[in-house]
Structure 1
């Protein structure tokens, strides 16, 4: 008797968590090529290509294995008075991963999906945030932003804003 194995059964499937980890890795590669943030000292930097929308990159903390970053445009949200859109990023040097931890002022994952969400909701939320981040990084690269257009601009954007835990 001949056993036939379908083609789809031979192709390994990637779990949603595996997809998320691959997205973190892809975002790290793109972001590292774009801004080379691993060795930037803490402070505020701006990339201006003359289109009226300068990008601000704020290195909040530099640690041995991680860098905490805030990426935003120089646009102020009329309700909060904070720069928006914003993405808080954690760059893992040793694992070569970049994670968007949250993407809106004052809204952490607990505010969006609750205190005790099921694991699938957490992974889904992280997939959405980090897909957004990947598209934003790609857009910035296509527009011409990068290490050549990045220059220091002084103190941090909002020293009173809580750092990501």
Structure 2
């Protein structure tokens, strides 16, 4: 019984949860305004604004109300071969929210949080990931990335298949 009571103390406060939901809504507005991902088919897209940092948007899966996306630069981490930075996004179009489910910015979430993080740690991490996503989307828009700079890029399929989490784990282990 005392374990149940102790766990309730570790629940996030409503204000942190409300802030996180607000970030999800803001990120949906930014992403929808910039790239209109709902109109994109499953595949690879490149946005080039002439700054030497091409952006890769991959539509991993598309369903009537949700999409799975990966957003990254065409830069690889020399240790793992994974795109860095990159963000995996889940778009809930019916709820008008975008959640960064995980990011790769030099380190994987397991390296940052451990395998069994406590709830406040996990919520704090989600807040940081989604705040990062919001700032990154804002930066990309300021630089000029938009649906008008986005073109289909099937040649990027080969690049993205080389940077899976399984490959990264093998690279780190070996």
* Alignment TM-score, normalising by the size of structure 2: 0.79
1:128-156 per-position Cα deviation (integer Å, ceiling 9, x unaligned): 00000000000000000000000001052
1:159 is aligned to: 161
Aligned-partner Cα distance in 2 for 1:116–1:132: 23
Number of aligned residue pairs: 151
2:45 is aligned to: 45
1:144 is aligned to: 144
Q: CA RMSD in A?
A: 2.1
What SS is found at the alignment partner of 2:148? helix
1:127 is aligned to: 127
Deviation at 1:118, TM superposition (A): 2.1
Superposed counterparts of 1:12-161, under 5 Å: 15-104=15-104, 109-155=109-155, 156=157, 157-159=159-161, 161=164
Give 1 or 2 for the bigger CA radius of gyration: 1
1:7 is aligned to: none
Segments of 5+ residues of structure 1 without an aligned counterpart are: 1-12
Deviation at 1:110, TM superposition (A): 4.2
Looking at secondary structure, tell me which structure has more helix per residue: 2
Does the aligned pair in 2 maintain the 1:67–1:92 contact within 8 Å? yes
What SS is found at the alignment partner of 2:117? coil
What SS is found at the alignment partner of 1:154? coil
Could you tell which deviates more after superposition, 80-89 or 21-30? Answer: 80-89
Aligned-partner Cα distance in 1 for 2:42–2:106: 22
Segments of 5+ residues of structure 2 without an aligned counterpart are: 1-12, 167-174
